[in-house]
């Protein structure tokens, strides 16, 4: 049986990819950003997944206004890094896991979530920047990502976007699907995008540290409560692109409940009670930094225990 062992959450700022690709990661502006990922890079070496189920959003790269799937699962054998205007990033081809992806599609669609099945898709910074942050650049003599990746694209670009609640429940359905796959795979689920940012209009440059930190608190300790927050609150408080954060709820929905002991420390006002038989989730790492380009960078690692 396959198992979801851990979840990783991270922003996906394209300038982070450019800083890495152009050798600027030691510049004073970028140093504190990459320092926040040192723990994760070591952690993932010690906890290597067999497959990553990577929830991200496409930025009008593979999909355009011609066709807008709300949820799209990549079932192909491989996915090329996309050309977003400056040529494709110099990162490896993403190798998929068609067998597990097809199984998840079957299970989740039969569980009443409408997924679009995608057999050909280039992947943009939404997917490649999180991989670069966690794995660094693979060496030239072994130029590949350490494991297969199933891309799962969510529409957070063109309204209407899916609600936090739907995303959270979809995460639960994905977990059920993974756990009914009959190979002993160690699967990580990643939720990416966010945190607060707005790239356009009079409020361009908006950052909201209070909102972001409250989101992190609640994602950890009261994800169900966070899932009931309507999309308009994200847009108002976290900017038009802050809505990318609903994707983190898909990953969180696939994880265990919180351990009641650290609950008090993490979110003193959280009142949610935890069933006695719940297996607690454990917070391995938490990081928050402003600025990175126009975006607040957030990063979390949670393990199922």
Distance CA 80, CA 72 (A): 16
By C-beta, is 255 or 296 nearer to ligand DHB?
Answer: 296
Tell me how far, at minimum, the Cβ of 291 lies from ligand DHB, in Å. 8
Tell me how far, at minimum, the Cβ of 265 lies from ligand DHB, in Å. 30
Strand pairing report for 94-95 and 78-79: antiparallel
Q: Is 138 exposed, middle or buried (0-12, 13-18, 19+ CB in 10 A)?
A: middle
Tell me how far, at minimum, the Cβ of 12 lies from ligand DHB, in Å. 6
On the CB side of 175, how many CA atoms lie within 13 Å of its CA?
Answer: 20
- Given the residues 103, 125, 231, 285, the one annotated as active site: 125
By C-beta, is 14 or 130 nearer to ligand DHB?
Answer: 14
Tell me how far, at minimum, the Cβ of 56 lies from ligand DHB, in Å. 10
In the residue annotation, 125 being an active-site residue is answered as yes
Cis amide prior to 195 (ω within 30 degrees): yes
Which residues here bind ligand DHB, judged by CB under 6 A? 12-15, 59, 197, 199, 241, 293-295
By C-beta, is 57 or 169 nearer to ligand DHB?
Answer: 57
Distance CA 163, CA 148 (A): 28
- DSSP notation for the chain: --EEEEEEEE---HHHHHHHHTT-TTSTTTHHHHHTTHHHHHHHHHS--SEEEEEE---SSSS-TT---SEEEE-SSEEPBPB-SS-B-S-PPEE--HHHHHHHHHHHHHTT---EEESS--B-HHHHHHHHHHH-PPPGGG-S-SS-EEEEEE--SSSSPPPHHHHHHHHHHHHHHHHT-SS--EEEEEEE--SS---SSTTTT---HHHHHHHHHHHHH-HHHHHTS-HHHHHHHH-TTGGGGHHHHHHHHTS--B-HHHHHHH-TT------TTPPPEEEEEEEEEEEETTEEEEEEEEEE-
- Given the residues 197, 231, 285, 299, the one annotated as active site: 197
By C-beta, is 175 or 197 nearer to ligand DHB?
Answer: 197
Tell me how far, at minimum, the Cβ of 15 lies from ligand DHB, in Å. 6
By C-beta, is 100 or 297 nearer to ligand DHB?
Answer: 297
Tell me how far, at minimum, the Cβ of 16 lies from ligand DHB, in Å. 9
By C-beta, is 59 or 97 nearer to ligand DHB?
Answer: 59
Active site residues: 125, 197
């Amino acid at each position: 049986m396959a198992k979801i062992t851990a979840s990783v959450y991270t922003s996906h700022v394209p300038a982070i990819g450019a800083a890495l690709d152009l050798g600027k990661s030691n510049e004073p502006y970028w140093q504190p950003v990459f320092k926040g990922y040192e723990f994760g890079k070591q952690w993932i070496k010690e906890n290597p997944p067999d497959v990553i189920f990577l929830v991200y959003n496409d930025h009008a790269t593979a999909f355009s206004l011609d066709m807008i799937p709300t949820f799209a699962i990549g079932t192909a054998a491989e996915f090329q890094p996309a050309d977003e205007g400056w040529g494709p990033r110099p990162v490896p081809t993403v190798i998929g896991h068609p067998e597990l992806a097809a199984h998840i599609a079957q299970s989740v669609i039969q569980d009443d979530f409408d997924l679009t099945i995608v057999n050909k898709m280039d992947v943009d910074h939404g997917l490649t920047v999180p991989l670069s942050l966690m794995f660094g650049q693979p060496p030239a003599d072994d130029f590949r990502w350490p494991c297969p990746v199933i891309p799962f694209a969510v529409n957070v670009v063109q309204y209407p976007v899916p609600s936090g609640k739907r995303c959270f429940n979809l995460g639960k359905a994905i977990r059920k699907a993974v756990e009914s796959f009959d190979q002993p795979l160690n699967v990580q689920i990643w939720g990416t995008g966010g945190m607060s940012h707005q790239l356009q209009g009079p409020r361009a440059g908006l950052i909201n540290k209070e909102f972001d930190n409250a989101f992190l608190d609640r994602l950890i300790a009261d994800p169900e409560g966070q899932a009931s927050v309507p999309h308009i609150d994200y847009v108002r408080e976290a900017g038009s692109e802050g809505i990318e954060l609903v994707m983190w709820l898909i990953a969180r929905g696939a994880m265990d409940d919180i351990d009641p002991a650290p609950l008090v420390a993490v979110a003193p006002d959280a009142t949610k009670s935890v069933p006695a038989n719940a297996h607690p989730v454990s917070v391995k790492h938490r990081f928050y930094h402003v600025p990175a380009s126009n975006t607040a960078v957030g990063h979390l690692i949670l393990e199922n225990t």
